[in-house]
Structure 1
């Protein structure tokens, strides 16, 4: 019997998940099939790799020694897929992904067209949800991966920055700040703000940058909190307050003269968008190809 990657992947997933049943669910296999593959790997090495108990699977000394090699083999396969995806033009399949609100509503629609022209046989199904919902569906194997506005800390999730973005200060055409080429950060603090809800990626980035400038976000005059970027833009256009939104999300309104963006001296609200998927999962080549497209192309030409 020869050592093979499939067995290493199964072993790694069992160790990560802590049980054969959880690994079987993650790998879409039956529990007996998972058990058989791990036993075959133990037979190959001639030693026990996992200590079975009624509560949880634990690694033996040999299993602990094997884990980093199993992890490296998974990483190698992922890197191989990523490199080879650049040369694969006749891919077929269905790609299921989740995207947080700003990404799903304003960023990806402009990128799916160019991607579809290059890979016309890949069908994309996208759900626009909040980060918690995306993570839940990934854990339940309903989505291949997600694109989110801020990284989350979860032991089963892999995070990787794949796109850049920048928030801009927006004001209505009738606002006292309208027409200025630049403002000081202190100058905007006296005005009412309309912001995304607490916990949104946009709100987190804004608050982090304010703290770096020694400004307490709690001191802002927040008159309204809204659950979508579209609602925030409408409130700003109506003169209810000023706000920060993704630069990509407001280009239409700026072009129509409904809203203005104003630079803030010596302050930039830059951020990264992240891909999120299970550490133990091997993404389908269609998903790897899409993520490679996001990482390596000049996306600004389409934004």
Structure 2
């Protein structure tokens, strides 16, 4: 079996067209078509159907796809293992992270880890949690670091850290003169939220709803990123509850201030997620053990 044909088959599935797969593989469209036909002859089944002029995976193609991804992944792992033994190649780990971890936590982790294992290199993918978990399931990343819920029970999930959610206000806000505020004081200020499907926002809203205060917060604004919220709070446009991980620098330099809320402590778990591989990728165990030791 030609491993390149399986790779091209996966490219066509992932990209949704032969044209895009050809560009990705730096080959001609006829070459892609030829490789797909070779696979179809080998398996004795059509792998794609054309529906309204578009390629659609056939039932046989749907069955083959996860096997093809696994074969490609293990083939690459075997080369990496042998090349490491013979000293012919360096290890590249593909790490997928959710947005907050990728932007605020991972850089320090990689900096410290690389001092211990300088020959291990990284390719980083930063997306939302569902996207990263899908990439892990499809072997597009070797390990995932996420802060959201992991629904797939076949994945190996373990907590590696936690992150507190804190109330932040401008440096000159009247609340900074207090040791803490009462929960009933929150509606006095404009609350700055992330978008409605944000995991952080859902945690905060659930907690405030249980305390019967959420409905009283009517003066609010929705912003599309954590950075935009921090800038808005700094400018005095409102207050917000954000992961402490994302505001450490601003708190350190006094740009923003943290205010305690009496009777409310919000902590979310950060997860290390991996697949159960018979032959783990070279260097992956070192990285996982390092994460566990944080």
Match of 2:178 in 1: 180
- The answer as to whether partners of 2:180 and 2:259 remain within 8 angstroms in 1 is yes
- The answer as to whether partners of 1:100 and 1:131 remain within 8 angstroms in 2 is yes
> Is the aligned partner of 1:146 residue 2:144?
yes
RMSD: 2.6
Match of 1:277 in 2: 274
SS of residue matched to 1:133: helix
Match of 1:88 in 2: none
Number of residue equivalences: 218
Separation (CA, whole Å) in 1 of partners of 2:192 and 2:292? 32
Match of 2:231 in 1: 234
- The offset of 1:295, in angstroms, is 1.9
SS of residue matched to 2:203: helix
Separation (CA, whole Å) in 2 of partners of 1:216 and 1:258? 28
SS of residue matched to 2:158: strand
Separation (CA, whole Å) in 2 of partners of 1:234 and 1:281? 47
Match of 2:165 in 1: 167
- The offset of 1:147, in angstroms, is 1.3
TM-score by structure 2 length?
A: 0.66
Match of 1:105 in 2: 103
User: Alignment partner for residue 116 of structure 1, among 104, 114, 117?
Assistant: 114
- The offset of 1:246, in angstroms, is 1.6
- The offset of 1:186, in angstroms, is 1.8
Q: Structure 1: which 5+ runs fail to align? A: 1-18, 31-90, 298-303
User: Alignment partner for residue 245 of structure 2, among 244, 248, 257?
Assistant: 248
**1:200-257 CA distance string (max 9 Å, x none):** 2322322233244x23535433522223211110111111111111212212212222
- The offset of 1:173, in angstroms, is 2.1
Map 1:123-138 to 2 at 5 A: 123-138=121-136
Identify the range of structure 1 (276-285 vs 181-190) with the bigger mean alpha-carbon deviation: 276-285
Separation (CA, whole Å) in 2 of partners of 1:158 and 1:99? 15
Match of 2:94 in 1: 96
- The answer as to whether partners of 2:187 and 2:219 remain within 8 angstroms in 1 is no
Match of 1:21 in 2: 64
Match of 1:86 in 2: none
